[in-house]
Structure 1
Amino acid sequence: MRIATWNVNSITARLPRLLAWLESTGTDVLCLQEAKVAAEQFPTDQLRELGYEAAVNATGRWNGVAVISRVGLEDVVRGLPGDPGYEGVEEPRAVSATCGPVRVWSVYVPNGREVDHPHYAYKLQWFEALKAAVAGDAAGSRPFAVLGDYNVAPTDDDVYDLAAFEGLTHVTPAERAALTSLRETGLTDVVPRPLKYDHPYTYWDYRQLCFPKNRGMRIDLVYGNEPFAGAVKDAYVDREERKGKGASDHAPVVVDLEV
């Protein structure tokens, strides 16, 4: 079984690449982030032509997540239980579903913006709500994973140059502590192998030639419980999909399971 996560940074802009990628890779389940469309504009029909169903949580031009599956889609939950909301609004940042033998969450964790910004406090609160929401499944016997754009680099090695992030979000002790706390529910960081260079970055800014210079970050993560992690046969970053005209600034992270 092949499961992947991919921040497409607008499904409208990325649709031809997305459809071609699904077809060429034989992915069974895709957790997608930053759809940036309303739910009724999501390309459900085009995906159905390839044999996929989609569970979508999206409201417009910002955020938006989905679980896309060709192995079943049951017990769908749209949104994060206990979502703290930002400025009184619950943003579309989470959706979960059971796909065959595996249950998955697709998450787009708040960016945080700046350390002294209210969005940063919201980010930490969102992590607390996520931990509470997934704890039961994380400790369960069914393969379970939380996949998505976490907007946190777990370790210093997960950024190309720590000095470049001094005083910025994504690398602060509080954010990393939130990741640690989430893992304490029984989740393991399924670290993919790089297909080039020595570290599996998943995101490269569009600016300053970051991708050609490999100035990346590993912020797209797969956190799986023991049954999930134990079934992993391979995991890698599909760096090729970050290349060329019309690419997202994130690459897909692919996990192959024997379940």
Structure 2
Amino acid sequence: MKIATWNINSIRTRADAVLEWLERVQPDLLFLQEIKCTDEQFPSLFAEHGWHAETVGQKAYNGVAVLSRTPLDVTTRALPGLDGAVAEQARYIEVAFGDLRAGGLYLPNGNSGGDGGFAGKIAFFDALAARARAFLENDQDAIFLGDYNVCPTDEDYAPGALAPDDALVRPETRAAWRRLVWSGLTDAVRALRPSGRAYTFWDYQAGCWDRDRGLRIDHALLTPRMAERLQDVAIDRDARGRPQPSDHVPLVVTLGDD
């Protein structure tokens, strides 16, 4: 089973690139973030080529989606436990895929909106941790993947790529990440690549791609039985070097049979 995530930074701009990638890689599920369109505006191109789409859209900003060859059972289109401004944003979709629950998420960046914007980031982390604990307590197999907007350690970003007070590396952000992971989840990338560069994002500015000044901010977290099935994690760096790319690249998790 292949489950992938990709912050596409506008699906209408990159629909052809996503379709080409889908046809080549053939994932069972592809979660998208920052589709930046309403549900009605999501491209029909995918349905025309046999891909089923479920979306949680928002005009011009945010937005998440999931694509599959088979119809999907959506269990929720919003992360339970959130309130306030962040609860009104299109940032979470969860599906049942056989016995697996898969949640695709776009966690707030936290650098805009002042103290309230950063508080929304931490609130999202806390709600996601509560969702994970509920699944763990009920022995539910699950995977949570998407753009988490956190570099968990200093090794997860190029030297000088972020200021020390950036919301992606603030102590409060990293503590929220640790609370989430330490609830009983496995970071798929670091399970198979305990150290070394594993960037998934390169800013469009300051020659970041050419200089490999990247960040690891796209993650997949697995419940215990899913971690036991983990076979491979691939970061498709080639996608960043293609014409008119997203600033993120796909992250693909391969799970073996149970």
| TM superposition shift of 1:116 | 4.9
- Corresponding residue number in structure 1 for 2:72: 73
One of 93, 101, 104 as aligned partner of 2:102: 104
- What code does the residue aligned with 2:6 have? W
- Corresponding residue number in structure 1 for 2:29: 29
Is structure 2 residue 16 aligned with structure 1 residue 16?
yes
| TM-score normalised by length of structure 2 | 0.92
**Whole-angstrom distance in 2 between the partners of 1:242 and 1:147:** 19
Structure 1 window deviating more from structure 2 (21-30 vs 125-134): it is: 125-134
Identity of aligned residues (%): 39
| TM superposition shift of 1:137 | 1.8
- Corresponding residue number in structure 1 for 2:215: 217
- What code does the residue aligned with 2:42 have? F
CA contact (8 A) 1:148 1:220 kept: yes
Gaps of at least 5 residues in structure 1 are: none
CA contact (8 A) 1:83 1:126 kept: yes
Structure 1 window deviating more from structure 2 (66-75 vs 234-243): it is: 66-75
**Whole-angstrom distance in 1 between the partners of 2:56 and 2:113:** 27
CA contact (8 A) 1:55 1:76 kept: no
| TM superposition shift of 1:185 | 2.7
| TM-score normalised by length of structure 1 | 0.91
- Aligned residue for 2:120, secondary structure, equals helix
CA contact (8 A) 1:127 1:178 kept: yes
- Corresponding residue number in structure 2 for 1:151: 149
**Whole-angstrom distance in 2 between the partners of 1:164 and 1:144:** 31
- Corresponding residue number in structure 2 for 1:47: 46
**Whole-angstrom distance in 2 between the partners of 1:203 and 1:84:** 29
- Aligned residue for 1:207, secondary structure, equals coil
One of 232, 235, 238 as aligned partner of 2:236: 238
**Whole-angstrom distance in 2 between the partners of 1:10 and 1:101:** 31
**Whole-angstrom distance in 1 between the partners of 2:173 and 2:182:** 15
**Whole-angstrom distance in 2 between the partners of 1:48 and 1:248:** 22
**Whole-angstrom distance in 2 between the partners of 1:163 and 1:3:** 29
CA contact (8 A) 1:201 1:216 kept: yes
CA contact (8 A) 2:199 2:216 kept: yes
CA contact (8 A) 1:139 1:185 kept: no
RMSD between aligned alpha carbons?
2.0
- Corresponding residue number in structure 1 for 2:246: 248
| TM superposition shift of 1:165 | 2.0
- Corresponding residue number in structure 2 for 1:202: 200
**Whole-angstrom distance in 1 between the partners of 2:181 and 2:77:** 22
Structure 1 window deviating more from structure 2 (25-34 vs 129-138): it is: 129-138
- Corresponding residue number in structure 1 for 2:82: 83
Cα distance per residue 1:146-182 (max 9 Å; x no partner): 1000000011100101574222110011001111111
| TM superposition shift of 1:203 | 0.4
CA contact (8 A) 2:161 2:214 kept: no
- What code does the residue aligned with 1:184 have? W
- Aligned residue for 2:145, secondary structure, equals strand
Gaps of at least 5 residues in structure 2 are: none
**Whole-angstrom distance in 1 between the partners of 2:93 and 2:125:** 15
CA contact (8 A) 1:84 1:126 kept: no
Q: How many aligned positions are there? A: 254
